[in-house]
Amino acid sequence: MSKRHRPIYVTEPHLPPLADFMPYLEAIWQSKRLTNSGPFHEQLESALADYLGVEHLSLFANGTLALVTAMQALRITGEVITTPYTFAATTHSLLWNNLKPVFVDVDPKTCNLDPDRIEEAITPATTAILPVHCYGFPCDVERIEAIADTYGLKVIYDAAHAFGVRHDGESILRHGDLSVLSFHATKVFNTFEGGAIVCPNDKIKRRIDHLKNFGFADEVTVVAPGINGKMNEVCAAMGLLQLEHIDAALATRSRIYRQYAEALAAVPTLQLIGPPEGTQWNVAYCPMLVSDTHPVSRDALYDRLKAADIHVRRYFYPLISSFPMYRGLPSAVPSRLGNAHRIARQVICLPIHPGLGADEVGSVLDILLAAD
């Protein structure tokens, strides 16, 4: 096995040189403007909109608050069709809005909400669809949009993994009524903690900006039952610095993915999942399926890697629909979610981040390729 001297994690925050961050901190200290849409906040909103190819974007303290607020902004009620194969925050945002999640199975190739299963889940109480661009793989946005238009439904994309992703030359964030990003420390682009809602026009952005600031429209006027979802100046400054390095970070992630793909190509029972054709992908994660016919089970392989101080993750296991607060729902019945259950049983996300060295990738591959 390759020599190394530290644990290996699935993701690590990409941290630019501390010296490059100090001028931002000094400017914040001198201005004494720590939050409430300060200058770095305003600069980052504009810079991100330009980089991502979208017209309007509202920054948040984290992606979960952004999800909760997105439902409020569109006044979603009743039932929302969504995926069981995601992080807990996706579905929890529905409960926080007193909405009923309705789970639909996923496509076996992309791990995203299967459009073929959406229509059968629509009822008179359905008002929205909440798909997830899982691992940064674009959903079938055209088919989802056609279904939503037919039935008069809103579409809110959980795009936590989809920073910078383009499909057929267009930003994936331009689809749906709203798209929600996460800038958590482990994401492709991070602001320590943070998030954003991408929205189509000035009117909805104003409503979102009111909602994230207690509902205040001005000093004395409250127009909505808002919360405190604002991003502070330190996090915004981190985002501005991250943007200077993001293209290099994305290139490194792609190189590491290719290294894994080349080494595992000869092992049909270890299958890397990749994006649909025509996608400019950000390599947000490196998901691998361990076939039921592989000599070592997924969980045994997970244990071997962990014993070697390689901390892979089984994203996403268990399924959201298996959690106590959801498993009693009619749509959570395992027989309705066969693809999602199989993928959850087989998946391991391999380490991938810009700080990962070639020798560390080699350590991971040594274990994956070892004979039983």
Of 207, 241, 275, the one marking the end of a domain is: 241
pLDDT at 1 over 50: no
Classified as helix, coil or strand, 122 is coil
Please indicate, yes or no, if residue 31 is contained in any of the structural domains.
yes
Per residue in 304-319, pLDDT (tens digit) is 999 999 999 999 999 9
| Same domain, yes or no: 230 and 263 | no
pLDDT band at 372 (very low <50, low <70, confident <90, very high): low
pLDDT value for 6: 87
| Same domain, yes or no: 85 and 212 | yes
Per residue in 264-298, pLDDT (tens digit) is 999 999 999 999 999 999 999 999 999 999 999 99
Q: What is the mean pLDDT of the chain?
A: 96
Contact 289, 297 (CB under 8 A): no
Domain extent for 315: 246-369
Classified as helix, coil or strand, 196 is strand
pLDDT band at 14 (very low <50, low <70, confident <90, very high): confident
pLDDT value for 3: 53
Of 221, 241, 261, the one marking the end of a domain is: 241
| Same domain, yes or no: 181 and 314 | no
What is the total count of domains within the chain?
2
Of 241, 272, 306, the one marking the end of a domain is: 241
Q: What is the DSSP code (8-state) at residue 200?
A: S
Angle at 192 between CA 4 and CA 17, to 5 degrees: 60
Please indicate, yes or no, if residue 200 is contained in any of the structural domains.
yes
Per residue in 112-132, pLDDT (tens digit) is 999 999 999 999 999 999 999
Residue identified by tokens 């996706």 is: 90
pLDDT at 363 over 50: yes
Query: What is the distance between the alpha carbons of residues 237 and 332, in angstroms, rounded to a whole number?
Result: 42
Tell me what the mean pLDDT of segment 105-111 comes to: 97
- Which domain CATH number covers 332? 3.90.1150.10
Please indicate, yes or no, if residue 365 is contained in any of the structural domains.
yes
Please indicate, yes or no, if residue 87 is contained in any of the structural domains.
yes
Query: What is the distance between the alpha carbons of residues 312 and 163, in angstroms, rounded to a whole number?
Result: 22
pLDDT band at 5 (very low <50, low <70, confident <90, very high): low
pLDDT band at 2 (very low <50, low <70, confident <90, very high): very low
C-alpha distances (whole Å) from 122 to each of 95, 98, 146 are: 19, 18, 14
| Same domain, yes or no: 217 and 286 | no
pLDDT at 96 over 50: yes
Please indicate, yes or no, if residue 166 is contained in any of the structural domains.
yes
